[in-house]
């Protein structure tokens, strides 16, 4: 059994924050008083051809130096959720996915990565995919960290994202960041 939780949302909405909340909750099972008590959240390391951002660690991504390395992995069918964004490539190595009924792979995706993954696994037996849209109100500061995006660009990205239905809608606003308990409550529905 392969369980995937795909986190989508506009640039700067907190997709990585939500992923880390879930993965870090593995260390404190006592906080989980719902169906996730015996579940392990896993964040498979993703690959990218873009340079490392200042605040990122080498654990955040596998940074490929050559586009040809990425293209070889993609053409050999070793990636899911692969996308091209702002001139760089991203994807998740299938070999990094954890299988088992008590394991949920939490993957941050763009809209096209979400569609690619849903399409790839649409007829696959023993694959359970849930999707979540992270809703937020980004600041100009956050957007500047993400390739000089603007509020208008954020609105356009969100407009595209809203043309898909999701299993979960997760609010993560600046003045009211999502907490682990609230997040698990939403996912428990």
Report the share of the chain in percent with pLDDT over 70: 80
Is pLDDT of 150 > 60? no
C-beta separation of 89 from 38 below 8 A = no
Q: What is the DSSP letter of 136?
A: -
Tell which residue, 145, 143, 179, has the closest CA to residue 158: 143
Q: Is the pLDDT of residue 125 over 70?
A: yes
* Mean pLDDT score, 148-176: 70
Distances (CA, A) of 17 to 24, 167, 177, 179: 10, 19, 10, 10
Tell me what the mean pLDDT of segment 168-179 comes to.
81
Say how far apart CA 189 and CA 173 lie, in whole Å.
21
Interstrand relation of 103-108 and 46-48 (parallel, antiparallel or unpaired): unpaired
CB-based contact 110:21 (threshold 8 Å) = no
Q: Is the pLDDT of residue 44 over 90?
A: yes
Range name among 13-17, 37-41, 162-166 with the lowest pLDDT average: 162-166
Task: Label the pairing between strands 79-85 and 88-93.
Answer: antiparallel
- DSSP-derived pairing of the beta strands 46-48 and 88-93: antiparallel
**3-state SS assignment for residue 42:** strand
Answer whether residue 171 shows pLDDT above 70. Answer: yes
Q: 65 has which bridge partners?
A: none
Edge-to-edge strand ranges of the sheet holding 40-42: 40-42, 103-108, 2-8, 127-135, 168-171
Alpha-carbon distances, residue 91 vs 162, 163, 181 (angstroms): 22, 22, 29
Kindly tell me if the per-residue pLDDT of 80 is higher than 70: yes
Give the pLDDT of residue 164: 73
Q: Which of 29-33, 84-88, 134-138 has the lowest mean pLDDT?
A: 29-33
- Indicate if the pLDDT at residue 88 is higher than 60: yes
- Per residue in 57-78, pLDDT tens? 777 789 998 889 999 999 999 9
Give the global pTM. Answer: 0.83
Q: CA–CA separation, 65 vs 165, rounded Å?
A: 35
Of residues 127 and 9, more confidently modeled = 127
């Amino acid at each position: 059994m392969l369980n995937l939780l795909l986190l989508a949302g506009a640039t700067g909405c907190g997709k990585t924050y939500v992923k880390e909340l879930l993965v870090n909750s593995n260390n404190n099972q006592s906080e989980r008083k719902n169906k996730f008590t015996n579940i392990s959240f896993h964040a498979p390391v993703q690959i990218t051809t873009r340079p490392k951002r200042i605040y990122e660690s080498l654990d955040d991504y596998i940074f490929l130096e050559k586009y040809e390395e990425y293209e070889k992995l993609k053409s050999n069918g070793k990636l899911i959720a692969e996308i091209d964004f702002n001139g760089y490539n991203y994807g998740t190595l299938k070999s990094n996915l954890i299988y088992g009924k008590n394991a949920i792979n939490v993957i941050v995706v763009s809209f096209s990565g979400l569609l690619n993954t849903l399409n790839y696994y649409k007829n696959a037996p023993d694959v359970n995919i849930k999707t979540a849209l992270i809703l937020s109100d980004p600041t100009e500061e956050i957007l500047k960290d993400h390739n000089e995006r603007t509020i208008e660009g954020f609105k356009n990205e969100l407009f595209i994202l809203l043309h898909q239905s999701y299993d979960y809608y997760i609010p993560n606003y600046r003045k009211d960041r999502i907490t682990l308990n609230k997040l698990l409550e939403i996912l428990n529905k």
